[in-house]
Amino acid sequence: MRSPMRILHLEDNPKDAEFVQAMLAAEGLPFKINRVEARDAFVAALEEGGFDMIISDYTLPSYDGHSALLAAQAKRPEVPFIFFSGTLGEEHAIRALKDGATDYVLKSKPARFVSAVIRALREAEEKAERKRLEEQLRQAQKMEAIGQLAGGIAHDFNNLLTVINGYSELTLLKLPPDHPLRTHLKQIRTAGKRAASLTNQILAFSRKQVLAAKVLDLNEVLEAMEKLLRRLIDDDIAIVTKLKPGIGRIKCDSGQIEQILMNLTVNARDAMPSGGTLIIETADVKLGEKTTASGWELEPGFYVVLTVSDSGCGMDEATQARIFEPFFTTKEPGKGTGLGLSTVYGIIKQHQGAITVYSEVGKGSTFKVYLPRVDDLAGSRETVAHEAAVPTGTETVLLVEDSAMVRDLARMALETHGYTVVAASNGVEALRLADRHQGPVHLLMTDVVMTGMNGRQLAEQLSPRRPETKVLYMSGYSEGILTHHGIANPNVTLLSKPFTPTILLRKVREVLSGIPSGADKE
């Protein structure tokens, strides 16, 4: 036994109680017994809980064992219940087993008593583990279903934001600096960018976000963010950092890792309205076997662990079970969206990591983020080419997009900056137009997920006809979705939605010129 088993013993005879203790001690079983003799004391003990087993006599002067069994089943059905009695006949024994008793042993034949106790404890532990795993599976399925719904909505919304933000930018470029409508358009653009940030959080939760992963030193990321984190929290909250020197590297999207830390920091701040301590730690850990955490399994191997602890109000079990659900919040209306921790959950899961939480009411909370460790150092060096001016061109672009509004925006941006555009709403139409077009097609710019023929299939069918044509994919989905459609590899260039005309034009120029592309930024 890992710790003494806690036993609630309903027994009015002190000698029989001593006999039970002697049998357990003779087998070397550690235990702590709370013996009660009457109904009121037994019911009070049931209310208090905190025991692993109930042992009961069947006949007592002021109470009976069967009533005790029914009370225990109503209040603590997960706790094994064993009758140890000298008066339990066969009829009563069968009735007791039907009503939930785990076992019964006659005092006149005590040889089986200890083995009955051990078996009951083992079965209770196995049942508790099955229940935990079943609950974890239900939680994972629920989160998956919510993620699928949220991701689909966010992806469709990204198409709308591409149009809103794109036309705002195009109109601003055409208006003179002193035009009175510029202020209104800037407000629209600002709101559009905030909306895009919101959809990115939803896509992060559903693991449908496009990642720009590279090899990072987590300590360096945290050190660079320390000043920002101090601005996020109140003056009466102390930050303590314990970063392990020489920590292993991780392959992650740096912006997403920053998002994790900011969200956990804000969450900790809100849990400490009267001040407290925020502790941020890093460490290396080796998992020798599969470890289950937050609804999925971590494979054996090396991980880097980010720990964020606070001394705040803590959470009860019911709250902990829901904290990663999108839009679940314990804050007052208007004080939070309920997306902070769900965003963290999605980012970590998309990085093949895990997050655990331990919290007690009044004692604070500790979040542990596990991210796979990598040894590749070359990936940490990244060169980002960024042009100050919006590039132009004279090439021909075959544009394929099933959203008419996005297609019109992209065509306008390209044609305005010198390109010849052949536009199609689907793959079949695109192939027909490509066959009829006289002259070269320099670039195929296509959405990934389309009805009928997807972007990869279109590119494969176009390649024999136009071997010189380069390909630029567009999508608001994640690497996982791209893998499903067969285009997630280092040689694929992707334009992430929502995008603005400036981002589009730079990405097109990069592909046509063969310049390595960095992150999609303005």
CATH number at residue 285: 3.30.565.10
Same domain, 375 and 409: no
| pLDDT at 394 > cutoff 70 | yes
Q: Is the pLDDT of residue 381 over 60?
A: no
Query: 342 and 220: one domain?
Result: yes
| Residue 15 in domain | yes
Last residue of a domain, one of 55, 78, 108: 108
Predicted local distance difference test score (pLDDT) of residue 156: 73
Q: Can you give the pLDDT at residue 204?
A: 52
Residue 462 lies in a domain: yes
Say yes or no: 238 and 354 in one domain. Answer: yes
Residue 130, in any domain of the structure: no
- 495 falls in which pLDDT band (50, 70, 90)? confident
pLDDT for the residue 388? 46
User: According to the model, what pLDDT value does residue 441 have?
Assistant: 96
- Predicted confidence band at 84 (pLDDT cuts at 50, 70, 90)? very high
Q: Which residues pair with 283 in a beta bridge?
A: 305
Q: What is the DSSP letter of 334?
A: T
Does residue 376 sit within a domain?
yes
CATH number at residue 476: 3.40.50.2300
Of 154-168, 323-337, 374-388, minimum mean pLDDT range: 374-388
Give residue 14's Cα distance to chain centre.
54
> pLDDT category, 19, cuts 50, 70, 90?
very high
pLDDT by residue (tens digit) across 251-300? 887 778 888 888 899 889 988 999 999 999 999 988 876 665 555 567 88
Residue 127 in domain:
no
Domain boundary among 315, 348, 380: 380
Asked whether residue 451 falls in the same domain as residue 479, the answer is yes
Distances (CA, A) of 55 to 47, 67, 69, 210, 352: 16, 13, 10, 58, 46
Both 298 and 270 in a single domain?
A: yes
Q: Could you tell me if 422 and 456 lie in one domain?
A: yes
What pLDDT was estimated at residue 33?
A: 94
pLDDT for 360 equals 86
Question: Is 190 a domain residue?
Answer: no
Chosen domain end from 327, 350, 380: 380
Task: Give 142-178 pLDDT, tens digit per residue.
Answer: 656 666 666 666 667 777 888 888 888 888 888 998 8
Does residue 232 lie in a domain region? yes
Q: What is the pLDDT of residue 212?
A: 60
Residue 250 lies in a domain: yes
Q: Given the structure tokens 């099955």, which residue do they identify? A: 130
Return the SS3 of 180: coil
Q: What percent of the chain has pLDDT over 70?
A: 81
Q: What is the mean pLDDT of residues 202-231?
A: 73
Higher pLDDT, 234 or 102: 102
Distance in angstroms (rounded) separating the CA atoms of residues 146 and 371? 23
In degrees rounded to 5, what are phi and psi of residue 117? -65, -45
Quote the number of domains for the chain. Answer: 3
pLDDT tens figures, 435-479:
999 999 999 999 988 888 989 999 999 999 999 999 999 886 544
Q: Do 222 and 277 reside in the same domain of the chain?
A: yes
Confidence band of 208 (pLDDT split at 50, 70, 90): very low
Length of the chain counted residue by residue: 522
| 8 Å CB contact between 407 and 401 | yes
Give residue 483's domain range: 396-513
20, 87: one domain: yes
Per-residue pLDDT, 196 = 74
Query: Are residue 324 and residue 244 in the same domain, yes or no?
Result: yes
- Strand bridging mode 214-217 / 249-252: antiparallel
Tens of pLDDT, residue by residue over 2-12, are 578 999 999 99
Please indicate, yes or no, whether residues 313 and 353 belong to a single structural domain of this protein. Answer: yes
Q: Output phi, psi for 399, to 5 deg.
A: -100, 125
Q: Are 307 and 368 contacting, i.e. CB atoms less than 8 angstroms apart?
A: yes
Contacts of 337 (CB under 8 A, 6+ apart): 198, 327, 329
Could you count the other beta carbons within 10 Å of the beta carbon of residue 259?
19
380 pLDDT band, cuts 50/70/90, is very low
pLDDT (mean) for 346-353: 82
* 266 in the same domain as 235: yes
Averaged pLDDT of the chain: 83
pLDDT mean over 66-94: 91
Q: Which range has the worst mean pLDDT, 35-49, 61-75, 316-330, 424-438?
A: 316-330
Q: Are residues 341 and 447 in the same domain?
A: no
